[in-house]
Amino acid sequence: MSEAAAAPPGASPDLLALFVWLSPAYSVGAFAYSHGLEWAVETQDVSDLPSLTGWVDDLLRHGGPFADAALLAHAFEATRAGEDDRLREVLELASAFAPSRERQMETLNQGDAFIAATRMAWPAPIFERLAALWDGRVAYPAAVGIAAAAHGLPLPETLSLYLNAVAANLISAAVRLVPLGQTDGNRALAAATRVVRDVAVRAANVPLDQLGGAALKSDIASMRHETQYTRLFRS
């Protein structure tokens, strides 16, 4: 059985929980991570609005955020179906699917924080059963997928808002790092929303055995960031 009942047919789902969970104010510490962007700015791969929009576009379509969205979808579906073995498989893959130590720290630390905050404010039976289901840490996208399914929230909107939050966090980091003005930051956000709509649909239909990525510069940037001399961000 599913963790929570979905909205009645014809009723509009209440998405306020998603807006809260994926807000910059939610206590997951997303502001502390740049997903390797800090190194990309250091090397001038990202230095202005066009290079930033290209970097974010590539990440959403081919990089870590796309893979994370697919993992979110699988965690959501497994939770909704009550398939514990399937959920364990997703949690194991999500915790390992990172190309560097910092990227793994990023997803696991945010996942821990998300589970802790949501368990207290938006309790659901799955949060109490997680320790019995899985003895490892929960990656951030999987945590969001579990919570959304447990509270009967729709997957398409969950994916869109999750990807939009990831893009917004990257752009916020770039506004401070490049630096860019607020106007260029808003232009980058507008460009990202157009990409998010397409990527959310694609990510919902990726089989686990076909999960992958091709944003190699971002992966390398996350490795180089570990030894960057001056750092404002943890990844």
pLDDT at 27 over 50: yes
Neighbours of 229 (CB within 10 A): 5
pLDDT at 118 over 50: yes
CA–CA distance, 25 with 101 (Å, rounded to integer): 25
> How does pLDDT run across 169-205, given as a tens digit for each residue?
999 999 999 999 999 999 999 999 999 999 999 999 9
The confidence band for 154, taking pLDDT boundaries of 50, 70 and 90, is very high
List the one residue out of 33, 37, 212 whose CA is nearest residue 106. 33
Give the pLDDT confidence score for residue 230 in this predicted structure.
87
Q: What angle do CA 199, 200, 203 make, to 5 degrees?
A: 80
Please give the domain boundaries of the chain with CATH numbers for all domains. Answer: 34-223 (1.10.4190.10)
List the one residue out of 191, 172, 186 whose CA is nearest residue 53. 191
